Amino acid sequence: MDLQRRFLIMSAAAASLAVPLLSSGVAHAAGDPIRKIILATAAQAADPQEFQAAQLIAQEWRKLGLDVEVRGFPRPQLSDLVWFNRQKWDTTMWRMVGRPERSDPDELVYNLFHSSTAEKGFNFVGYVNKDYDSIAESQRRETNVEKRKEIVGKAQAMVAKDAPYVFLVHPKNTVGYLSTVFKPATVVDQGGIGVRNFWTFVQAEPAGAVKDIIANSTESLNSINPLYISGAPDSWVTELIWDRLMRIGPDGLAKPYAAKDVKWVDPTTLEVTLRPGMMWHDGKPVTPDDVIFSFEATMGDKAPMYKPFASNIASMEKVGADGVRFKLKEPNASFLISTIAKMNLIPKHVWEPVLQGMAGKPQNAESYQEQLPIGSGPFKVARYKLNEEIVLEKNAAHWQAPKFDRWILRVIPNNEAGLGMLRRGELNFLSDYRGDPKLLIDLAAQQKDIQVASTVDMGLRFVGHNLRRKPFDDPAFRQALSVAVNRNLMAQAAWNGFAVPASSMISPALPFWHQGTPPKASLDDAKAILKKAGYEVVGNKLHYPNGVKETLQPE
């Protein structure tokens, strides 16, 4: 099934599932009781940690007088509901996975909360604050790192005060691999990411006769699409197929990759020189025209998730036979990491007719799936079924050809099944494990060829509120919900101690940028915040302040 048809089916399914999330739309008397709140989450089988956290959160919110229902969805339907039906949900468990380019705080500070990304981009909760916009914009322009750190701190403080999210935890990525398949010394531990990363998959050396990396995902992939920023396993695949001018190294710094040279001519002019001899997987050469097209493709309305990262590009032009000059609208401290090292290079001869065919239509590039994706990266697509298995083959012509012949990702929703497959050697890289990490550690103690690595993620888990809908449009209400949640309990009970409590969109895995401490969990303080804002509990049920009616926001 092509992605466009799958997208339409998922949209219809999500819309039908979403109807019960809405209130009746009938206005009641002043000071109405707050309707039932639906806390959406991934299904228990797919993500037991997230589901348990949702249950614990709902338990505390009920003590405030709220009627809360936890509703689990398959991950694709949850993503479709939250991302593409932004008026039709209340509050949701969500995650930002640790991607290498998030080692710079710009994506977390600007794209998560700037008002320009609220309609279609990363600001899916609809947070709109002009003062915050100004802060987010100024941290981009500030090239003095200490001054920028101060501005990023102000951004974190403002988000903590306005509470569009309930920050929960930064998980520890705990994975396992077989030392009989991988030479441990060649497995790369990337800060804030862990050993499951691009560099491991490309540079790791076989320890024996097995030449296939066999990894797993606990959820189906949404797409294999270089213009769609999708879930974690989707990004593992995308990184391997499509090259980028720069990549984030294990040290968190941007380093030339498809570009052999990157240099600043002045604060708003960057020149890159392509690595010679690069070829697309269909045998055609990678050219400066392809590079320019790749960035232009993200600057229009057909790639809304990438658009903010290209918004500061004023112009691009070819320089000689293998160079491209970028001219920026203004200096940008994060440009190398948040843009140059983030954008996938795509072949103009493949994508130009696709985008031209979408002109004047509501469809965008995020809903398009190539029959056989074409990139220039170290692996190329052999075959795929998004809900079953992805098989990539080594691109032997690549300048950094992998040491393994194939990279295989198998969709295994059940965590216990994944653990058993690692034990039997049916997987050799347990890349996505959401069960109890202690079970994996115990297995490694029994089976010595299993190596376990655990790293605090630069990503985060949180509850995102839909600020377009009452009562989540009220900062006091959101602040009370945040104070009611015990982050330490989340880390210990839901994540079995393999997580650290969160206070910000920026992880302590990025200690230079991270600021803030989690609020002390207190139901009494939460009730006091609500009372001060005019909320009242009548008959054990929380009511709006006097004069506030329970009405639907227009769709």
The H or E element spanning position 443 is helix 437-446
**pLDDT 10s digits, 57-93:** 999 999 999 999 999 999 889 989 999 999 999 999 9
Please give the Cα distance from 87 to 469 (Å, whole number): 7
Is residue 552 very low, low, confident or very high in pLDDT (cuts 50, 70, 90)? low
The pLDDT of 10-29, averaged and rounded, is 40
Task: State mean pLDDT over 314-336.
Answer: 96
* Residue 39 resides in a domain: yes
On whether both 469 and 409 belong to a single domain, the answer is no
The answer to whether residues 73 and 118 belong to one domain is: yes
Distance from the first to the final alpha carbon of the chain: 30
**What pLDDT is stored for residue 282 in this prediction?**
98
Tokens for 471, please give them.
């009562």
Domain end: 353, 380, 401, which one? 353
Are 227 and 269 contained in the same domain?
A: no
Task: Indicate whether 220 and 298 sit together in one domain.
Answer: no
Q: What is the pLDDT of residue 101?
A: 86
Examine residue 439 and state whether it is found in any structural domain, yes or no: yes
More confident site: 248 or 550: 248
Per-residue pLDDT of 235-255, as tens digits, reads 999 999 999 999 999 888 899
Burial state string for 267-282 with b = 16 or more CB within 10 A and e = fewer than 16 = ebebbbbbbeebebbe
Of 455, 479, 506, the one marking the end of a domain is 455
The residue behind tokens 């509050």 is: 91
| Domain identity same for 447 and 473 | no
Residue 388 resides in a domain:
yes
Q: Looking at the structure, do residues 271 and 346 belong to the same domain, yes or no? A: yes
Cα–Cα distance measured from residue 6 to residue 516, given in angstroms and rounded to the nearest whole number:
42
Q: Are 173 and 454 spatial neighbours (Cβ–Cβ below 8 Å)?
A: yes
Q: CA-CA distance, 502 to 410, in Å (whole number)? A: 31
One domain, residues 347 and 388:
no
DSSP secondary structure letters along 48-78:
HHHHHHHHHHHHHHHTTT--EEEEEE-HHHH
324, 353, 382 - which closes a domain: 353
Domains held by the chain: number: 3
Q: Do residues 316 and 122 make contact, with C-beta atoms less than 8 angstroms apart?
A: no
Q: Rounded distance, CA 492 to CA 489, Å?
A: 5
3-state SS class at 497 = coil
Cα separation, 18 vs 31, whole angstroms:
26
Is position 549 within any domain?
A: no
User: Mean pLDDT, to the nearest integer, of 520-527?
Assistant: 96
Please answer whether residues 95 and 233 qualify as being in contact, where contact means their C-beta atoms are separated by less than 8 angstroms: no
Quote the mean pLDDT of the chain: 92
The residue written with tokens 């995308």 in the block is 238
What's 68's domain CATH number?
3.10.105
For residues 139 and 96, membership in a common domain is answered with yes
Cβ atoms of 374 and 210 within 8 Å: the answer is no
Give dist(CA 490, CA 499) in Å, integer. Answer: 9
Q: How many residues does the chain have?
A: 555
554 belongs to a structural domain: no
Residue 20 is part of which domain span?
3-170+458-543
Any domain includes 153: yes
Residues 21 and 159 reside in one and the same domain? yes
What's the average model confidence in pLDDT over 330-351? 95
Residue 322 belongs to some domain of the structure: yes
Strands 541-543 vs 536-538: parallel, antiparallel or unpaired: antiparallel
Question: 0.85 cut: is pTM over it?
Answer: no
Per-residue pLDDT of 103-115, as tens digits, reads: 999 999 999 999 9
**Same domain flag for 13 and 52:** yes
Helices (H), 144-284: 145-162, 198-203, 232-241
Q: What would the pLDDT profile of 134-162 be if each residue is shown by its tens digit? A: 999 999 989 888 999 999 999 999 999 99
CATH of the domain at 331: 3.90.76.10
The verdict on whether omega for the bond into residue 378 sits within 30 degrees of 0, i.e. cis, is no
335 falls within a domain: yes
Co-location of 251 and 238 in the same domain: no
3-class secondary structure per residue, 334-392: CHHHHHHCCCCCCCHHHHHHHHHHCCCCCCCHHHCCCCCCCCCCCEEEEEEECCCEEEE
Residue type for position 412: I
pLDDT surpasses 70 at 3: no
Question: Which single residue is written with the structure tokens 């009242």?
Answer: 536
What CATH number is given to the structural domain containing 423?
A: 3.40.190.10
Q: Which two tokens stand for residue 516?
A: 């803030």
If asked whether residues 396 and 433 sit together in one domain, one would say yes
Q: What is the rounded distance in angstroms from the CA atom of residue 40 to the CA atom of residue 130? A: 29
Q: Which of the four pLDDT bands, split at 50, 70 and 90, describes residue 25?
A: very low
| Three-state secondary structure call for residue 301 | coil
Neighbouring residues of 444: CB distance < 8 A, sequence distance ≥ 6: 176, 450, 451, 452
